[in-house]
Amino acid sequence: MKKLVSVVLAALVMTFSATAFAAEAGELSSSRNSVTTLAGEVTASSIPGFRPTDTLLFNLSGLTTENQMTLISYKVNSEGVEADLDNTTIQYINQYTLDADTKEIKYTIRDIEEGIYKIVINDGTTTLNYFYKVGNPQIELIRGANDTDYITKEEYTEDGVYSIAFVAKASLGPNVSFEEVGISDVGFYVENTAAENKNYTATLTNEKLTELYKAVETDGDCNIYYGVTIYNIPADTDVSTIKVEPQLIPTSDVE
């Protein structure tokens, strides 16, 4: 695949016009973290974030009509160095014959490697570079002994009650934070049908998520483990009636 991509890129370069272009990208229609401007630097403090199946949409203006323009989006690391170009690292590639001085760019984010992606727009003379991030946050309940939903069960024989502890794992790929893909908290949804149908939510604040995220290597995947304990459960309670579901809690203005 790498060789094929190289051949495709070479063919695109051969068809470029020599006419210079000085286009500018308009605002994005949306992003997961509500950043609506494509970043011009890989180290920018504010970079738009997306998840697989999201639509990336923006407009280019100031184009030279009747020119050939190519666009490719591919994965880079935190220093902007490209990954090996193959089907797991190229988000999008296309060539356009410009019939106007504006052009709408629109494509669906593929479910491939997570991380930082670079958009390169070129007409053979001038190159524009932009950056965005792609993450696919995942969450799962960690199974306890004997494949139980809970990790530990601690009994208090004196007062006839016990507690149950649950643990979950939230995961995200390299160079992307939970906040950048529209997650403000992680938590649990707990429904205890044996205790007056009460619902509980325990969350880990985004401030803490960010603190934990910064503690891992820049280019590494991020796995965060967190837990909740339910206390004062009557000894005669059927544990199967306690329903626990780990949650990724979206930022209020996203989704």
Tell me the pLDDT band of 16, cut-offs 50, 70 and 90.
Answer: very low
Which span out of 110-119, 175-184, 222-231 was modeled with the highest average pLDDT?
A: 110-119
Tell me the pLDDT band of 214, cut-offs 50, 70 and 90.
Answer: low
What is residue 160's three-state secondary structure? coil
Burial class (CB in 10 A: 0-12, 13-18, 19+), 202: middle
- Report yes or no: 48 and 37 within 8 Å, Cβ to Cβ: yes
Tell me the pLDDT band of 241, cut-offs 50, 70 and 90.
Answer: confident
Mean pLDDT of 57-65: 87
Instruction: Pick the range with the lowest mean pLDDT from 15-19, 26-30, 176-180, 194-198.
Output: 15-19
Q: Check residue 131 and give its pLDDT.
A: 96
pLDDT at 23 over 70: no
Q: Check residue 14 and give its pLDDT.
A: 34
Higher pLDDT, 191 or 8: 191
State percent of the chain over pLDDT 70. Answer: 78
Give the contacts of 121 (CB within 8 A, at least 6 positions apart).
23, 60, 69, 70, 71, 127, 128, 129, 130
Which helix H or strand E contains 10, and what residues bound it? helix 2-14
Structure tokens at 86: 């193959």
Question: pTM score > 0.85 for this model?
Answer: no
pLDDT at 246 over 80: yes
Cα 71 to Cα 60, 78, 103, 174: the distances in Å are: 11, 21, 12, 24
d(CA 87, CA 165): 42
The pLDDT tens digits of the residues spanning 69-124 come to 899 999 999 889 998 999 999 999 999 988 888 899 999 999 999 999 999 998 76
The pLDDT tens digits of the residues spanning 126-166 come to 788 999 999 999 999 999 988 888 999 888 877 788 888 99
Q: Which residues pair with 165 in a beta bridge?
A: 152, 229
What is the DSSP code string of 183-207? EEEEEEEEEETTTTTEEEEEEE-HH
Smallest CA-to-CA distance from 164 within 73, 234, 225 is with 234
Give, in degrees to the nearest 5, the angle at Cα 18 between 13 and 21. 95
Higher pLDDT, 29 or 1: 29
